[in-house]
Amino acid sequence: MMHHGQTVLVLRRLLARIRDVMASGGNTDGRLARIVAIIAKDMAAEVCSIYIRRAGDVLELFATQGLRAAAVRRTRLRVGEGLIGEIAAKQRPLALSEAQSHPSFAFRPETGEEIYHSLMGVPILRGGRVVGVLAVQNTSARQYTDEEIEALQTVAMVLAEMVASGIPVDQAQLLPAETVTATPTRLEGARLHSGLAFGVAVLHKPRFAIRKIVAEDTRIEHERLRHAVADMHGALDDMLRSTAVGGDGEHRDVLETYRMIAEDVGWLRRIGEAINTGLTAEAAVQKVNDDIHARMSQVSDAYLRERVHDLEDLADRLLQHLIGAEPGSTALPADQDVILVARNLGPAQLLDYQRRRLRGVVLEEGSPNSHVAIVARALDIPIIGQVREAMSRIEHGDQLIVDAEHAQVLVRPSDDIRKLFIKSLKARDERRAAYAAIKDLPAVTLDGVRIGVHINAGLLIDLQHLAESDIDGVGLYRTEVPFMIRPELPDVESQRQIYQKVLEYAGPKPVIFRTLDVGGDKVMPYWPSAQEENPAMGWRAIRVSLDRPAMLRQQLQALIKAAVERDLWLMFPMLTDVSEFRYGRALLDKELARVRGRSGRSPRRVYVGAMLEVPALIYQLPELLGLVDFLSIGTNDLFQFIFASDRGNYQISERYDSLSPVALSILRTILQQCQAARVPVSICGEMAARPLDALALIGIGYRAISMSPPAVGPIKATIRGVRLATLEGYVASLCAGRQRSVREQLRAYALDHGVMF
């Protein structure tokens, strides 16, 4: 076993020797053989083998020291098969003192490997793809240390660059034995922002050709790193100053947080340490990046994962400064619409690409709350996440259709499909134009009933829609969004500034602020994320606020101060019991008295509402309605609890329908009680954003709905095309039905009556 200093020295010598072999000419096979011999010797292993990935997902033994020479170019394992295949499939190192007792061990008699007990293997990774596997073996039952694994990963990185640049493996040998024609494929993922797009694929991870891996002089590399970091900081500041999105919305916070990560000491120190092992600055950046990615697959905390993505984004940026390449531009076709395909993206990278003709984004990772998704929504770029193996199944330059509506990517679609798609894209554009034409018209039904149309907002950029079209106000302002993208808990004053800006944007229109709804999947960077079995039903929203009253009081104070001399509308989320509302309201009254006492100023009027999201509250409506100024129904949560069906689980999302007689009857009961108690009620869940669902809501009798801004056009068009007199009777009959879903009936109704949806 080697200690740290020793490993660094051994590694440095090893890298220098590999460099010499590479520089020495001779045929490729000979050079490869020498390289494995050197690695085996320096790593004190009896065996060292290199497997290279060939087309068809086969890993072929290309060179070995220690295994039988006859096995070279003969032994093949599929990705996922045997230990070598497992390393490739999982993209993770494996170190076993008793390899043969591992369940995945696949014996290959031609190799003569039965005498070796221990095995350590690492993936040879390039641009997020496995291009091979490097493994060493020992006859003894050796326990490989973490440092040895790291060392082997560094060597693998050097090999990755060699493979990519054609030395010592001839590119021709990487070609598939049989020609694989590129057939159309369909990949599925999760919708992060809806829309349709068409364009050519650009694989992000511009393949930086790192030509020099092993350093001549470590001091010079440290110096180069220092300069590149300084340049990168300068460039980031420039970009922040002139970002294409402009304005001062919270997306700017996303970027500023990112800028802070660029100064992460730990990250820069790790790169420095990698340089100490003998790598060039660029190779060191790449190495640390690969490590981070390998480790990332084990991290479950959403915020940490986000940070890791930001770091990867920065690593790319740093590489650009070190190698002097233009950020991905060489790879981007100048005059074509582009679909960006990436493992993941940082928010700033999206802005970089956005200046070109970016039409859609496909990510292998990505979640609805990821920074890139927030920025994409603000820019209205369709984006699909969780597309498995997108990077290996899509080639640079492939034609792609991004159908975020159905969370699918069509790769190399046939001509027919493409034509159909272009047609529907056109129809969509026409529809958009039609929506644009009515955006200033009121949301009034054919028989003259006005429906309140509000928007759900969380970023300042969302509020622009208020000015751009005839919208009644903000039905739900999710205050947690600014909290989620800041590096620390905003104090009263910075909260006040945010809320005041929101109110200024809104002008005379009402904004309903919802108090913090954190917990569950909404993670704040500075908030300890508790490990909960069922976070959606866990410590979240009002439950957190009531257990941490100081935080809620600060928020209430900020809201009160922001709304001085104006009307203040606010509501509490996830109420389960009336007592929770009473308690929240009592806190509010205290804060109101305090602010008034100190400054003599206060909001003109304060309206306090309850969100109905937990079924238990339905049975307390008689009491609750006597206490509240208004009610807002969050159907996302309400239905997930009524149907016991996780709102974020794509596998069951089609199983229960919000357009079922059960769901509609529940909504009708709630409405009737509100009407009897003369309490205004509205719907702010996603349901209100889907035209057919909205049709049902209006048919039941709801007169105020709130939705994400892009839905305003379609919903208005629906409202303006419907006659309530007939719709109401029809929906009442549907409520009495017994089917699982009445969606198709409603669709038929809309078609028959010429309602646009």
Q: What are the residues binding ligand PEP (CB under 6 A)? A: 476, 478, 517, 613, 634-637, 684-685
Contact segment (CB under 5 A) with Mg ion among 282-290, 442-450, 611-619, 719-727 equals 611-619
Cα–Cα nearest to 206, from 113, 319, 335, 301: 319
Residue 637 — φ and ψ, nearest 5°?
-75, -40
Is the CB of 306 or the CB of 517 nearer to ligand PEP?
517
Is the CB of 105 or the CB of 303 nearer to ligand PEP?
303
Is the CB of 85 or the CB of 458 nearer to Mg ion?
458
CB of 474 vs ligand PEP, minimal distance in Å: 12
CB of 715 vs ligand PEP, minimal distance in Å: 15
Is the CB of 197 or the CB of 516 nearer to ligand PEP?
516
Is the CB of 129 or the CB of 454 nearer to Mg ion?
454
Site for Mg ion in 563-582 (CB under 5 A): none
Residue 685 binds which entry of Mg ion, ligand PEP, none, CB below 5-8 Å type-dependent: ligand PEP
Residue 126, beta-bridge partner list: 129
CB of 624 vs ligand PEP, minimal distance in Å: 17
**Crossing angle of helices 371-379 and 302-323, rounded to 10°:** 80
Residue 512 binds which entry of ligand PEP, Mg ion, none, CB below 5-8 Å type-dependent: none
Residue 730 — φ and ψ, nearest 5°?
-65, -45
Give the one residue of 634, 691, 699, 714 binding Mg ion; rule: CB under 5 A: 634
Tell me whether strands 58-65 and 76-78 are parallel, antiparallel or unpaired: antiparallel
Contact, 387 vs 380, CB < 8 A? Answer: no
CB of 178 vs ligand PEP, minimal distance in Å: 50
Binding mask 324-363 for Mg ion (x = CB under 5 A): ----------------------------------------
How far is Cα 227 from Cα 690, in angstroms, rounded to an integer?
Answer: 52
Residue nearest to ligand PEP (CB): 634
Mapping DSSP onto H, E and C, the string for 599-652 reads HCCCECEEEEEEEECCHHHHCCHHHHCCCCCEEEECHHHHHHHHCCCCCCCCCC
Radius of gyration of the chain (CA): 30
Is the CB of 189 or the CB of 634 nearer to ligand PEP?
634
Is the CB of 18 or the CB of 570 nearer to ligand PEP?
570
CB of 588 vs ligand PEP, minimal distance in Å: 20
Cβ neighbourhood burial of 567 (10 Å; 0-12, 13-18, 19+): middle
Instruction: Scan for tokens 């989320």, then name that residue.
Output: 573
Tell me whether strands 452-457 and 704-707 are parallel, antiparallel or unpaired: parallel
How far is Cα 102 from Cα 339, in angstroms, rounded to an integer?
Answer: 42
Is the CB of 327 or the CB of 685 nearer to ligand PEP?
685
Contact segment (CB under 5 A) with Mg ion among 91-99, 126-134, 430-438, 632-640 equals 632-640
686 binds Mg ion (CB under 5 A): no
Residue 635 binds which entry of Mg ion, ligand PEP, none, CB below 5-8 Å type-dependent: ligand PEP
CB of 569 vs ligand PEP, minimal distance in Å: 15
Give the one residue of 306, 403, 472, 637 binding Mg ion; rule: CB under 5 A: 637
Is the CB of 47 or the CB of 516 nearer to Mg ion?
516
Contact segment (CB under 5 A) with Mg ion among 30-38, 67-75, 475-483, 607-615 equals 607-615
User: Nearest 10 degrees: CA dihedral of 625, 628, 632, 633?
Assistant: -40
Contact, 134 vs 152, CB < 8 A? Answer: yes
Residue 708: how many CB atoms within 10 A of its CB? Answer: 20
Is the CB of 122 or the CB of 687 nearer to Mg ion?
687
Contact segment (CB under 5 A) with Mg ion among 349-357, 458-466, 634-642, 701-709 equals 634-642
Residue 684 binds which entry of Mg ion, ligand PEP, none, CB below 5-8 Å type-dependent: ligand PEP
What distances in angstroms separate CA 686 from CA 644, 689, 705, one per listed residue? 17, 5, 10
Is the CB of 359 or the CB of 647 nearer to ligand PEP?
647
Residue 128 binds which entry of ligand PEP, Mg ion, none, CB below 5-8 Å type-dependent: none
Residue 716 binds which entry of ligand PEP, Mg ion, none, CB below 5-8 Å type-dependent: none
Residue 122 binds which entry of ligand PEP, Mg ion, none, CB below 5-8 Å type-dependent: none
Is the CB of 202 or the CB of 476 nearer to ligand PEP?
476
CB of 496 vs Mg ion, minimal distance in Å: 25
What distances in angstroms separate CA 567 from CA 134, 411, 477, 482, 507, one per listed residue? 67, 52, 15, 22, 11
Cα–Cα nearest to 274, from 226, 222, 216: 222
Contact, 306 vs 370, CB < 8 A? Answer: yes
Residue 161 binds which entry of Mg ion, ligand PEP, none, CB below 5-8 Å type-dependent: none
CA atoms within 13 A on the CB side of 711: 25
Site for Mg ion in 612-631 (CB under 5 A): 613
Instruction: Scan for tokens 């090893």, then name that residue.
Output: 14
Residue 130, beta-bridge partner list: 125
CB of 639 vs Mg ion, minimal distance in Å: 10
The set of residues, in sequence order, having a beta carbon less than 8 Å from that of 254 and lying 6+ positions away, is: 347, 371, 374, 375, 485
> Which residues in this chain contact Mg ion in the complex, by CB under 5 A?
613, 634, 637
